[in-house]
Chain A
Amino acid sequence: MHGPPPLPSLKPKDYKSDVKPVWCAGCGHFAVLSAITKALAQLALPREQVAVVSGIGCSSRLPAYTHVYGFHGIHGRALPLASGLKAARPELTVLVAGGDGDGFSIGGNHFIHACRRNLDLTYIVMDNQVYGMTKGQASPTTPPDWTGSRLTPHGTGLPGFNPAAIALAAGAGFIARGFSGDPGGLTELLIQGIEYPGFAFIHVLSPCITYHPEQRAWKQTVHEQSGATTADPLLAAQHLQQGDQLATGVLFRAPPPAGSATPARRQPITTDQLAARFVVPDQN
């Protein structure tokens, strides 16, 4: 039982499914989907060796729009599901996709621990600072004075969550920020993130033109980071804390985790040998 050999030079469209996205016209996520398929094509990854895992939200619908293996799971739990898949099948390329509410609010604990665990996953968060699928409530990255939701008519009054700084503090080895308005640059970041042999967090500014039409201005305000990529966590922390959170590029890249971090595996054993350990020794 052999499948057909991998097709030579798959094109980005070969990684797309025929399912029509639910996204609004003008949504930033279209460009993110295209950048993902371009990155997969440029890396020439066999489609059956790739899995995209997501939670719930507009951006989390993405797996069904790809023609690789996918799992559209439950709200906030994309990272653990992907971590289980990657731990069990380390040879697969596993991407995790989702939004700011899914990743930083309900899934915030998993975000921290996925950074710490540093499995070779690429976590793509399409941040539009709003819960779009439930019709426009404030998310952890929403500015504190945003009064666009009837749920928080006076604004949340809470300082925005700084995902890149938290990823750094939690131990992520690769932290980048991209912009859906710059699909070429985003594709390049995705390639680097997928190739990075550890947890790669890619924070993507992806406007919601329905609930945050003012995000159209990101075209003008998003900018490349001023310096080069740093491997120094102190320097990265300074940039991530002081910046406007609109700087794109690879913001931090630690040396890849050492390959021999896990201790040598112990002697193999069989279940029969395990069972034999319980046998009561013969006294006679």
Chain B
Amino acid sequence: MKIEKQPVTLPPERSAGRRRESPVDRKTDLTATRSLSVSIIGSGGTGVVTCGKILLESIARMGLYALLARSSGPQIRGGESAIMLRLAEQPVENLDDRFDLLLALDWLHVDRFADELPVGADTIILHDSDRGDIPPCFDGATQRRIATPLTRLAEATENGRANMVGLGLLGQLLGIPLETLCTAACDLLKPKGETIVGAGLRCIEQGYAAAPPAPRPLPLSAPVVPPKRWNISGNEACGLGALQGGIRFVAAYPITPASELLEWLAPNLERLGGELVQAEDELASVNMIIGASFGGIPALTATSGPGLSLMMEGLGLAVASETPIVVSNVMRGGPSTGIPTKSEQSDLNLALYGLHGDAPHLVLAALSIRDSVFTTEWAVKLAETLQTVAIVLTDQFLGQARAVIDPPRAPGLKGSRKRAVDRTHYQRYTLTDDAVSPMAIPGDAGCMFTADGLEHDQRGTPSATAADHQQQLDKRRDKLTGFDYGDDWAEIGGAGAICLITWGSASGAVREAAERLTRSGHPTRSVALRLLSPIPEAAFRAAIADASHLLVVEQNHGGQFYDHLNARKLLPPGAGSLARPGPLPLRPGEIVNRVMQGA
């Protein structure tokens, strides 16, 4: 054990007015958010993700909240990876501006991650003294380092692993009780067998004992009686929301970063009496779910940008034939193959405008891991109610991250399909007050009809007349624009003349930025849209009313959401755009900085 330069202390609680070294810090360090940010990095096979999951579960069991994001190299499997953990007393939905603690199991290819791991001068770096010294890319943080021979300590135990020694060390520094850490490790390692569990526990204990003396305890206080909390990933949350919404058929083609969603759904659907079919391609998967839904079974596919591109013609068929389907699109860096393993909010244009013809449909975005349950369930229920396509946008950051969350809420909408009752003069596309027509399904006697992608009359018979085209176009639009989406179209927080508008997974960073600004004397509200199309325009205008300074925040290069709002003339002149592409997550500090520059 070698401690260099400074005794170890964890960073003190942040509070408003505390000054840090860089000019950026002075602007951004306005928060009283009590949280700690920890990263663990290592090359393929070092067990970074396992460490992260055990830490997350331990923190959850202590009664705290945490977010665990993952990053891996471009090769998807087998390479270097990093976990990014933020723990707090309150739910956390986004990463902080920098890390307080960094544990390096080794330094191989770490330069590929350096820009995802912002560190400050007071960041503590824990590293394996058997695996080389801190590389130059972390020069800014070398005052506080703890070099420990993790590998040699692990070798003392048969089947011992350095990651478990590192985990013990980290657990001690974070003030996690050894028993909590060991119980969580025991539960998570159980599938690997008794030998691995035993060795893991011994290594954790060794790491725990090897931590330097008198560390500050975790500066976060856990509640005596913790409220009920969940530990769930974004992809699992989407899957659960889909099943709660009634999805019982899924067809899909594997694609990063949506595959985990499918792998979670497959065994669970089977046990619910449903089915998941692995299709030959995305053209097949979208058409399979249209077929299943035509058969009366609520159906979903999951994909990412390239797959969504392939599905566009099928989505148009579902719109024209008014067959409800849901597409869960877990976005990644684009265009083309882009950056498959990293996050970006850049499929918005495709989701909104990718269909040929005038093809109104629903586009929704989950605002957080917890909200992935609600939004996906709501999307299923809306699609079934309105007999249309619902595209739910999440992204790699949300999908592959795990979090400790409060139990998710459920939408109030009942969300069942309007079924055919009239068995004598049935007309599939008959006009109604709400523009939604009763839908027969195979098995309903007397209601046989042919669903069609061709334009049709009310009965469903193909028609190329101007009158039928106008009537059915109006109908398919009106059923979406005339529906009352209630308050769930957006989450609106705070009050103030500064208004941050955002969507999807950027919402966490935006809300934290709004809170920091408000605390620093610049009252700020945030409007995070869950329903991106159709936007309830009156409600949107009311939400941004009287704002003097508006900024639209999103994680893409082109400002796609900003353009969408402007195309609908929803923004006043002078509204700004903060559009920054992936793969780096949006951080609250950069949003605060942008507002302060513009103020």
Contacts and interface: CB of A to CB of B under 8 A. Distances in A.
Interface residues of A, number: 59
B62 A19 contact: no
16 contacts: A6-B445, A71-B291, A72-B454, A73-B317, A74-B316, A74-B453, A80-B251, A80-B288, A81-B288, A83-B291, A84-B288, A88-B248, A88-B291, A88-B299, A89-B442, A113-B284
B183 to A, nearest CB: 8
A25 interface: no
Interface stretch (A28-36, A209-217, A251-259, A273-281): A273-281
B585 to A, nearest CB: 23
B553 to A, nearest CB: 29
A74 B283 CA distance: 10
A170 to B, nearest CB: 11
Contact of B231 (A80, A109, A110, A278): A278
Please classify the interface of chain B as helix (H, G, I), strand (E, B), loop, or mixed, using the class held by over half of its residues. mixed
A87 B61 CA distance: 42
A92 B442 contact: yes
A109 B281 contact: yes
User: Chain B, interface size: which category?
Assistant: 35 or more
Contact of A63 (B226, B230, B280, B450): B450
Interface stretch (B39-47, B264-272, B484-492, B501-509): B264-272
Interface centre among B267, B272, B287, B294, by most chain A C-beta atoms within 10 angstroms, is B287
Contacts of B445: 3-4, 6, 46-48
Contact of A278 (B230, B443, B450): B230
A89 B292 CA distance: 7
A113 B280 contact: yes
Contacts of B404: 280
Interface centre among A67, A280, A284, by most chain B C-beta atoms within 10 angstroms, is A280
B60 A280 contact: yes
B327 interface: no
Contacts of A72: 450-454, 462
A269 interface: yes
A283 B61 contact: yes
A81 B290 contact: yes
A82 interface: yes
B357 interface: no
A268 interface: yes
A50 B448 CA distance: 9
B61 A73 contact: no
Interface stretch (B27-35, B236-244, B335-343): B236-244
Contact of B446 (A4, A68, A110): A4
For the complex of A and B, the 3 pairs showing the least CB-CB separation, nearest first, are A3-B445, A84-B291, A84-B288
Interface string A64-101: 10111111111011011111111111001000000000
Interface of A: 1, 3-4, 6, 17, 19, 46-53, 63-64, 66-74, 76-77, 79-89, 92, 109-110, 112-113, 265-271, 274-275, 278-284
Given A80-B287, A113-B280, A268 B271 contact: yes
Nearest to B249: A88
A70 B451 contact: yes
A283 B62 contact: yes
Contact of B295 (A89, A267, A269, A271): A89
Interface in B519-573: none
A211 B183 CA distance: 75
A48 B443 contact: yes
A80 B272 contact: no
A112 B295 CA distance: 24
Given A48-B446, A73-B453, A109-B281, A84 B271 contact: no
A88 B453 contact: no
B280 A69 contact: no
Contacts of A86: 291
B461 A19 contact: yes
A49 B447 CA distance: 11
